[in-house]
Amino acid sequence: MCLAYPAKVVEIESSLATVELEGVRRRVSLMLLPETKLGDYVLVHAGFAMQIVDRRTVDEMLETFDEMNAHER
């Protein structure tokens, strides 16, 4: 349940942001991370940005997701 994924913030409109992960765009709320800036990578959980993360972390996490998907499909 506490799963979270990293994504890049590509648009901000007041407390809503559009994030992108491997070409897929989603709307997430910035209510829990108001300091988010355009271009930041954020950790997303249940539709909310939870923390700003660095690019290296993002690459590592994506590797894990790819492996998990390979196992689960």
Partner 1 sequence: MNVEGHIKEIKKAAAGIDRPLRLMEVCGTHTVSIFRAGIRQILPSNVALVSGPGCPVCVTDDAYIDKAIAYALEPNTIIATFGDMLKVPGSCSSLSLAQAEGADIRIVYSPLDAVDIARDNPERRVIFLAVGFETTAPTAAAAILTARSMGLKNFFALSAHKLVPPIMRALLDSDDIKVDGFLLPGHVAVVIGAEAFGFLPRDYRISGVVAGFEPEEILRALARLLRSIEELRAEVFNEYESVVREEGNRAAQSILDQVYEICDADWRGIGRIARSGLRMREEFAEFDVERVAPIEVEPSKKNAACRCGEVLRGAIEPRECPLFARVCEPLHPIGPCMVSVEGVCAAWYRYNRG
User: Does residue 61 touch partner 1 according to CB under 8 A?
Assistant: yes
**Dihedral class, residue 14 (left if φ above 0, else alpha if ψ from -120 to 50, else beta):** left
Q: What angle do CA 16, 52, 12 make, to 5 degrees?
A: 25
Name which of 10 and 64 has its Cβ closer to partner 1. 64
Instruction: Identify which of 72, 58, 56 has the alpha carbon closest to the alpha carbon of residue 19.
Output: 58
Which of 2, 13, 24, 73 is close enough to bind partner 1 by CB under 8 A? 2
Question: What part of residues 17-56 is at the interface with partner 1 (CB under 8 A)?
Answer: 29, 31-35, 43, 45-48, 50-51, 53-54, 56
- Give the tokens for residue 1: 């349940």
Residues contributing to the site for partner 1 (CB under 8 A): 1-4, 29, 31-35, 43, 45-48, 50-51, 53-54, 56-57, 60-61, 63-64, 68, 71
